[in-house]
Structure 1
Amino acid sequence: MNARSCSNMKDAAGLFVAALAVLVGILGGTEPDGGLCVDGSCFAVFRHPGDFASAQRHCEERNGHLMAAGSSGSRDVLAQLLRNSSGRFWIGLHRSTGCPNATSPLKGYEWTAEDAQGDSADWAPSFDGSCSSPRCVAVSEADRLRWVQEPCDAPVTGFLCEYHFAYSCESIAIDGEAPTYDTPLGFGGGGLHSLPPGSIAALTPSKRKFVCSESWVEAPWSCEILEGGCEHQCATNDEHEPSCSCPPGLSVNPANGITCEVDALDPCARLRCEFACLEGDDGAHACACDRGFTLAPDGRSCVDFDDCSDERQCPGDNSRCVNTVGGFRCECQGGFKLTDGSCVDRDECASAPCEHMCDNTPGSYKCSCSGGYRVDPLDANKCELHCGKKECVAECDPNDRRQCYCPDGYISDERKDHTWCVDLDECGDSYCEHGCRNTYGGYVCSCRKGFTLVNEVFCVRNEDEDEEREGSGEAATIPNAPAVTPHEVAPTRQPSAVTVGGLVAIIVCCVLVVVVVVFLSQHILNKKGKVERGAASKAADGGETHSLHGMGSEA
């Protein structure tokens, strides 16, 4: 069989191009785990867990539907698809509303496909005829391929899809050749007997290829479909006939017209060019690269060329060149946006990034703070209270003058006219190991000669000093502090300020504790006094009684 000599097959292949392109595009995505075709219908099994609705949507997106297993031969198809498979698989049978109908073969259920044929029911003995029974149906080998009711939202093992075609091709038969098939549905192999349109048959050992287009058409076919079956590249001549070509140094195998083999007579063969081999004016051949690439030092490989090395690229103001594989692109610098072909400044202040005030600058912005505040050193967009002198007026809530706030390192002082923030002298609390200098809102530690300040407060003896001490027999003492890069003066450390509310709370708590202690002490003393007075009273009464009794006896 030589389809290349049959012009009518070539014409049929030309008419088939559009339909095949659509088919290949539709059937992308999740690949099936197996399938088979029978008389223009193909069936595929997907081991992809999901509910009934997602399985139905997957089949429909690929121009098919969930399998209608109601025909006489469907049981044989199920047996082949689910051979050695565990778990349950959705089929296209469900009950949308109402209750099961025991009098009909489908028991009130319906096929999802409108053109589904056959009423050959195969329900499992466990069929539930109640109105609350599950509305969807699945099959499995464990249930002997019988129809089993299953909740539609159950994530079963997979699903079965069914596709229909106007025609199919029978398995190809050429003496001494073993075909391997690849279908546009995503499954293939060597044991298929019926193939859908667009299926490819590859023969061994000749490496010839055929495409199913009503009948088998040998490659090269239309270049629009899988490069016409060519191993390297497909092109058409002036008469729109497809033909294959090969890279420099290789030639098309005349036996099959699609594969490439080494051409010993080609002067480019020894060069082994990665992209192209060109003949110069002097008749010598050399390798060349595609646009955007340059020849590597080995003379045959191609490497990406840095197009941005040319300063003429992206000449506009505030524009920059970004090199890409095989080319480049122009984009605006940070803080600018492309408008009408030019890079213009973006007003970052429009998005209100600053806590207080915002000043837009070319390509950026700058935050500033109101009086009594400064920019937070940890976040340039935020502001923090700042005094910068020995004392300043506190920041108070306009709705509650008792709620006042002071910067770190200050303590509030309530006066007649206002609440003031007074600088704390942290050096009196012995934060520093050696020397301490108080600053407004903080303090700075320092070390004696021969020591280095570590972690802002500790002083560690220098290594050269340690060596001298070891030579003299004097032991060196180093505080237990993590090692960091030494520096002479550490950043200011600011302890948390005590607010007016905090002081009031502390005073109230202390007063309450004193009152409670006094009350308990008084209560205990009162109780003890009562006990002592009661005992004395009893003793006195007993004595008087004794005395009376004695006087009576004497009388």
Structure 2
Amino acid sequence: MDSYGQTILFTLFISPCVGMVHHCACSTNLKDCKNLYQMPVDFHTAHEKCREEGGQLMSVRSNKSDEVVGFLLDNTIGHFWIGLHLPEGKCSSNAISLRGYEWTSGGQGTEFSNWGSEEIACAPLCVSISSDRKWMERPCAEKLDGFLCEGDQKNLCTGREASSVTFLDDEQCLSARCEHECTPVAVGYMCSCMQRFRPNARDPHRCDFYCTSTVCEAICARDGTMCRCPDGFVSSEKNCEDIDECESNHDCAQKCVNTIGSYRCACFDPFILVNGTECILNPKFEFTTPSHNYVVRGSLSSPGEYVGLIIFIIMAVFAVLVLVHYLRGRKAAVQECNPSDNEFQKSGSQ
């Protein structure tokens, strides 16, 4: 158990809704979280989804990481993308641990590998993993059952669906600080919350009251004189009503979407969300004309390219103005050198 340190596993048993986090594992400071998403996506879409949440596809570089993967995929059926891909123009090789593949987080460093086959490939491939924890090579465009993300994603690990928290530690319930209920498990102990409560985001040993709808019943004293509502709600007699944070101050760069007890950020097309609040232009944005038979595909991906495009447009407009000015001056000069017939007549009569 020492290899786990003070790792916490947030067990989110969620109905199989598209795009939901099924399992999540976090460190005690909630700065390093690993999440299992269940939604049909290809590799590149999975990579973008992780970036939108402020993370990246998971790297499995050690035995410890592989053990966390085992927990996340426990009792799970399907295949899930991890952050490993073979770059275009390269062939795999069994002579090295990663066989020429690279992590989306950068580099080829690893202390661990668990390949499911030894076939040599010379085409762009990506790697998936399943409950047997074997690394399988697949076409990157193939849609799998989900993907594994890692990063600072504590809001996902302490989300609305969480009802229990498993601590990977040698401690047992005798020394645990679970506020509601503690259950001994093989890897340590599990703190659970009663109905209508969930683990606290800062200290998962504690439990917070929460609502599943915009209006819910408050928790009141027996005499009904004092009632309590969860964060993000306001008391209205013996009920709790959701506060629309989007009508007040929020930190969203473009769009704010109100949710039950909180809010989330979104972006206008063709921008995509990063780090939960910021918006950047989608690198794959397509410039289209009104004609359905003609499409110009833009591949601008850096601020310098956008600046260069703007400068080019300005210079083109300036050049057109200079040309118009020159042509007008040229026309005036020609008229001075070649006076009209009326002007000749006037000069003759004089």
Choose between structure 1 and 2 for higher RCO, CA contacts under 8 A separated by at least 6 residues: 2
**In which range does the TM-score fall when normalised by the shorter chain?**
0.3 to 0.5
**TM-score in terms of structure 2 length:** 0.44
Alignment TM-score, normalising by the size of structure 1:
0.29
